[in-house]
Amino acid sequence: MGSSWSMAEEAGSPEGSAPGLGDVPEGCVAEVLARLEPPEICRLARLSRAFRAAAAADFIWEEKLPSNYRSFIRRVLGPGGDPDLMEGRSGFGSKKDLYSRLCRPVLFDEGTKEFWLEKYSGGMCISISSKALSITMIDDRRYWNYVPTEESRFHEVAYLQQIWWLEIGGELDFYLPEGTYSLYFRLHLGRASRRLGRRVNSSQHIHGWDIKPVQFQLSTWDGQQAQSKCYLGDPGTWIHYHVGNFVVQNSEVSTKVKFSMIQIDCTHTKGGLCVDSVFVCPKGFRPEKQMQC
C-alpha cells in the first residue's frame, strides 16, 4: 500500500486507474495537516505536490504559533535583537518560515538572553545568561571570573573560586504565552576543559556545598511565589536546579519574574561553582539532568 502511495501521479490519476494522493483536494489535505504536530506536517509535505502546497498554508502555521507571537517579536526588536523577524522581511513572509525561524534561538537584550519555540509543541523556552544576572562581587577577580566554554549556549560561564557570601539574582520581563512554566538554575561543580580530546573536570576549588543548602526563590509581578532548598552535588555534571513554577494567564501583558539563589552562611566559604544560565520552559518539558530540590 505504501508503495502505491509514493508512486501516485502528482497531478492526479489517469482515467480508469485507482485514485492517488494527487486526487485528494488540497483543502482536505490542509484540514488533516492542521491537526498534526509540525515535524509530521513537514514529513508529509514530501509525499506529493498537493501535500506540499497544503503544508505551506498560513492558517496551519498560524495555529502552531503562540497566539501572542506579534507581541514578543516586537519585544526582541530592541538592542541586540534580530531585526529580520518582522513579517515580510528577509523571506519570513509566510507563517511556516516564521515558525521555522522561531524554533531556532533568537537573541535579545544585548545578546544576554535568548528564546526559541520547542518544535513539537510550539512551547516557549527562554535562557538567561550569567552576564544578565546580578552576582555579588562579580567584578572582583579574587572571587569570580568569566571563563569561555563550548558547554554553554552563550559560550562563557561565571566561575566562582571562593567566597563567603553567595547571592545571585535576576529578572525576566517578556511576553510569555499562557500556561504553566518551570524555572531552573543551570549549575556545575568544578571547571570542565578538554585535554587530549577528552573532557576533564577540575575539582580544585570545590568545597562548602555540602554544609548548608542553597536557597532558590522566584516571585512574579502578580504575587506568585515559590522557593526551594538544595545541596549542590554531582561534580562534573551540568544540573538544572528547579526553583519552582509560575502561571501566565494573560499573554498580551508582559510577564515579570524575579529569581535568586543565595547561600549567605558566613561560617564557611564555598567555591568551585560554574553558573551558566537560568532556564524557563513549559512545565513538563525535560531539560538535561535536573534536580528537584
Q: Label residue 189 exposed, middle or buried (CB < 10 Å: 0-12, 13-18, 19+).
A: buried
Q: Does residue 46 sit within a domain?
A: no
DSSP-based three-state secondary structure for 156: strand
CATH value at residue 141: 2.60.120.260
Of 23 and 47, the one with more pLDDT: 47
pLDDT at 6 over 50: no
Confirm if 180 and 271 have CB atoms less than 8 A apart: no
Of 72 and 77, the one with more pLDDT: 72
Across 175-200, average pLDDT: 91
Q: Does residue 96 sit within a domain?
A: no
All residues at 6 or more sequence positions from 118 whose CB lies less than 8 Å from its CB, including other chains? 103, 124, 125, 281, 282, 285
Q: Does residue 87 sit within a domain?
A: no
Of 121 and 169, the one with more pLDDT: 169
Q: Which amino acid is located at 183 in the chain?
A: L
Across 75-92, average pLDDT: 55
pLDDT of the residue at 185:
97
Confirm if 53 and 42 have CB atoms less than 8 A apart: no
pLDDT at 4 over 60: no
Confirm if 172 and 257 have CB atoms less than 8 A apart: yes
CA atoms of 112 and 77, how far apart (whole Å): 14
Half-sphere exposure at residue 122, Cβ-oriented, CA atoms within 13 angstroms:
20
Q: Does residue 254 sit within a domain?
A: yes
Of 72 and 51, the one with more pLDDT: 72
pLDDT of the residue at 138:
96
Q: Does residue 236 sit within a domain?
A: yes
Q: Does residue 35 sit within a domain?
A: no
* Domains contained in the chain, number: 1
218-222, long-range: CB < 8 A, 24+ apart: 218/183, 218/243, 218/244, 218/246, 218/257, 218/258, 218/259, 218/260, 219/257, 219/258, 219/259, 220/246, 220/255, 220/256, 220/257, 220/258, 221/255, 221/256, 221/257
pLDDT in tens, 116-136: 999 888 899 999 999 999 999
**pTM (2 decimals)?**
0.83
Is residue 228 within a helix (H) or strand (E), and if so which, with residue range? strand 225-230
CA atoms of 57 and 55, how far apart (whole Å): 6
Nearest to 126 by CA among 78, 83, 193, 181: 181
Q: Does residue 150 sit within a domain?
A: yes
The set of cell numbers assigned to 139 is 567584578
CA distances from 44 to 34, 47, 57, 92, 275 (A): 12, 5, 14, 22, 42
pLDDT of the residue at 21:
54
Residue 250 is part of which domain span?
A: 125-292
* Residue located via cell numbers 580544585: 204
Q: Does residue 11 sit within a domain?
A: no
